[in-house]
Amino acid sequence: MMNKKTRVIAVYNQKGGSGKSTTAISLADVYARKKNLKVLIVDSDPQATASTRFGWDPELNYTEKSYPSYILNELEARERIDPYAKHIPPHEYYVGARRYSIRKDSKDGDYGGNLKLLVSNARLERAYMDLNSSSEGKDLLADMFSEICETGEFDVVVIDMAPGLGFSQREILMGTDYIVTPCTCDMDSIDGALRVGEAWDRIERHKPSPIVFLGIFFNMVKKNTKATRSTFEQIDQFWATNPRLDTIIPMNQDVNNATNKRIPVTIGFPNSSASKAFDKLANEILKRIETIESTATDMEAN
């Protein structure tokens, strides 16, 4: 990274099944374990996949220190219905990343404190409904990310976003610096990626600081097929004025094997083609951010 500043990166596609969680998990692992960066991963998906991969299964390792707990408690504090409710800063809800274990006393993973989580659990659906219906819900999540960044504790915040574009997704994006979009080689996923671009354009009009769309990348790709080549050509036509990341994540059985083991593929199968591709993607994202920020600094100087 160019300087000490927290970058908030949302991994987002409006369609499910594009590999958002696998991407967010892999990026967080690579940045924390290989790049020695301080990383927070926010599991904003009720499925809690990212939480489980880092040792916090919502059924086996339930904790009140969680992302939905923050939302519900902060709403109580803002609505002032409970006179004893008060603002509790986000860092009080962090937990440390752990290697997955069915034991409730599983130990911390090999991150040396570099990777922390805001975990998800079954209460997140309720938290999102309350957030949407409350008059105090607007800007709550954007304010949370601002408070996280102001502490300077992290180099990178990675958000594993749920599919769709409801109130909670829009509120999260209002607190985001960068968006990266995984896309599979099917038209539903491509349409979802195109709608991310449209949503980004609408949200940026109302956001006080810019949100940068880093681009889409192809995930779970069967290389050198006619259908794949045709998809690439269509995307390049659709996105002629928007970035596409160079990294391609290949279809690889080890991703499924890692899912079954409930560990990041970059830990469980480090020599697989998918893991090597995620390493490359992590580097490409950092370099693209550095280029964007360097260009912005040069323009300000002139």
Q: What is the pLDDT of residues 142-193, one digit of tens each?
A: 999 999 999 999 999 999 999 888 889 989 998 999 999 998 877 776 776 6
Would residue 17 count as lying in a domain?
yes
Report the number of secondary-structure helices (H) and strands (E) in the chain: 11, 8
| Residue with the larger pLDDT of the pair 241 and 149 | 149
Quick one: tokens of 45? Answer: 């998906």
Residue 55: CATH number of its domain? 3.40.50.300
* The two three-digit tokens of residue 96, written as one number: 């440390």
Residue 239 has what pLDDT? 61
Task: Look at residue 173 and tell me if it is in a domain.
Answer: yes
pLDDT of residue 240 exceeding 60, the answer is no
Residue 202 to residue 62: CA distance in whole angstroms: 37
Q: Please report, for residues 21, 31, 133, 222, the alpha-carbon distance to residue 28 in angstroms, rounded to integers and kept in the order given.
A: 11, 5, 32, 25
In a domain, 196, yes or no: yes
- The pLDDT score that the predictor gives to residue 27 is 98
Query: 31-40, 79-88, 222-231, 287-296: which has the highest mean pLDDT?
Result: 31-40
Spell out the residues 6+ positions from residue 2 whose beta carbon is closer than 8 angstroms to its own.
290, 293, 294
What gap in Å lies between CA 119 and CA 115, rounded to an integer?
Answer: 12
C-beta separation of 40 from 147 below 8 A: no
Statement: residue 109 has pLDDT above 60: no
On whether the CB atoms of residues 111 and 40 are closer than 8 A, the answer is: no
Average pLDDT in the chain:
86
Confidence (pLDDT) at 7: 96
Q: Is the pLDDT of residue 35 over 50?
A: yes
Please report where in the chains the tokens 């998990």 appear, as a residue: 25
Q: Write down the pLDDT at residue 254.
A: 94
The DSSP secondary-structure symbol of 91 reads: G
Q: pLDDT tens-digit profile of 189-215?
A: 677 666 666 666 666 666 667 788 898
Domain total in the chain: 1
In a domain? residue 195: yes
Sign of CA dihedral 58, 48, 27, 154: negative
Q: Is residue 142 part of a domain?
A: yes
Q: Answer whether 216's CB lies under 8 Å from 190's CB.
A: no
pLDDT for the residue numbered 124 = 95
pLDDT, one tens digit per residue, over 99-108 is 654 444 444 4
* 39-43/212-221 β-pairing: unpaired
Which residues, in sequence order, are bridge partners of residue 163?
none
Say yes or no to pLDDT of 74 above 80. yes
Mean per-residue pLDDT for 29-47?
Answer: 96
CA-to-CA distance for 23 and 295, rounded, in angstroms?
27
**pLDDT over 90 (residue 98):** no
Give the DSSP H/E element, type plus range, for residue 164.
none
How many angstroms separate the CA atoms of 113 and 95, rounded? 10
Residue found under tokens 């996105």: 239
More confident site: 243 or 1: 243
Is 297 a member of any domain?
yes
Q: How far apart are the first and last CA of the chain?
A: 23
- Judge whether 85 lies within some domain: yes
pLDDT at 47 over 80: yes
Entry pTM: 0.90
Residue 2 lies in a domain: no
Question: What does the alpha-carbon distance between residue 26 and residue 268 come to, in Å, rounded to a whole number?
Answer: 11
Domain that holds residue 28: 7-301
Torsion angles phi and psi, residue 244, rounded to 5: -125, 130
- The CB-side HSE value for 17 (13 A sphere, CA atoms) comes to 10
R_g over Cα of the chain: 19
Cβ(89)–Cβ(73) below 8 Å: no
